[in-house]
């Protein structure tokens, strides 16, 4: 049953079938399949395959958009099923996708994992300017600024954030963590980010590590 649901999840995203993806997500959650498994083993491999087909020009933007809509709808249902831990606050995190970048599916999964792990998360959304990350970090007295970038053309804004924080003398005040498909530890080291996380679960672990909580 579980293997069937997970396979259906993958197929629904590849088919760009939003209604089916929502139905499979609900069935999976109600049937006791953990949201993380539904996402990691079903929906995410589906959207990854679509990304590869798009890169190889075997499908085009309309199909990519339809698959993304199916993926996003399913991710919303999975994310909602992840319980938020409001009893404790391990730290305040400002989260968003950087300027010029509208990819937000992975960022929203990160939000769910961080909230479930006891962090107070202020998700600014996508296409967020460097100045806005800093203003919001000051407004909410944040511990961490967490940025997602999915494009090689936008990951430079993660570097800009480090530079502006330094210029403003705020580099030590706010820790930074970066993520997103084209990003890696080497990039984090190069730009001077405090941490890099490959996925949503490790984002929660890495933030706990850098804050020592």
Contact residues: ligand B1M, CB under 6 A:
44, 47-48, 50-51, 54-55, 61, 64-65, 68, 72, 100-107, 109-110, 146-148, 150-152, 177-182, 197, 199-200, 203
Q: Which residue number, 5 or 47, has a Cβ lying nearer to ligand B1M?
A: 47
Q: For residues 28-55, b (16+ Cβ closer than 10 Å) or e, as one string?
A: bbeeebebbebbbbbbbbbbeebbebee
**3-class SS of residue 121:** strand
Task: Tell me the H-state helices in 38-126.
Answer: 44-55, 61-81, 105-116
Nearest approach in angstroms of CB 14 to ligand B1M is 11
Side-chain-facing half-sphere of 61: CA atoms under 13 Å: 0
Nearest approach in angstroms of CB 150 to ligand B1M is 4
Q: Which residue number, 138 or 156, has a Cβ lying nearer to ligand B1M?
A: 156
Q: Which residue number, 44 or 82, has a Cβ lying nearer to ligand B1M?
A: 44
The DSSP letter of residue 128 is B
Q: Which residue number, 116 or 200, has a Cβ lying nearer to ligand B1M?
A: 200
Nearest approach in angstroms of CB 167 to ligand B1M is 21
Q: Could you tell me if 32 and 6 are in contact, meaning their C-beta atoms sit under 8 angstroms apart?
A: no
Nearest approach in angstroms of CB 115 to ligand B1M is 14
Partners of residue 148 on adjacent β-strands: 97, 179
Closest among 181, 119, 189 to 148, alpha carbons compared: 181
Q: Which residue number, 8 or 99, has a Cβ lying nearer to ligand B1M?
A: 99
Nearest approach in angstroms of CB 89 to ligand B1M is 18
């Amino acid at each position: 049953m579980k293997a069937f649901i997970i396979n259906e999840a993958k197929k629904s995203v590849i088919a760009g079938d939003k209604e089916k993806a929502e139905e499979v997500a609900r069935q999976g959650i109600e049937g006791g399949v953990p949201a993380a498994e539904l996402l990691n083993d079903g929906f995410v491999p589906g959207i990854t395959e679509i990304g590869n087909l798009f890169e190889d020009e075997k499908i085009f933007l309309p199909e990519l958009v339809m698959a993304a809509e199916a993926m996003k709808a399913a991710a919303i249902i999975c994310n909602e099923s992840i319980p938020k831990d409001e009893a404790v606050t391990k730290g305040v995190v400002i989260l968003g996708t950087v300027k010029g970048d509208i990819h937000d599916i992975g960022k929203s999964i990160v939000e769910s994992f961080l909230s479930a792990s006891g962090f107070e998360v202020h998700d600014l959304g996508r296409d967020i300017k460097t100045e806005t990350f800093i203003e919001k970090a000051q407004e909410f007295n944040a511990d961490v600024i967490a940025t997602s970038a999915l494009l090689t053309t936008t990951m430079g804004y993660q570097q800009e954030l480090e530079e502006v924080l330094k210029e403003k003398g705020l580099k030590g005040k706010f820790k930074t963590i970066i993520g997103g498909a084209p990003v890696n530890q080497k990039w984090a080291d190069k730009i001077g980010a405090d941490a890099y996380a490959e996925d949503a679960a490790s984002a929660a672990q890495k933030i706990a590590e850098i804050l020592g909580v």
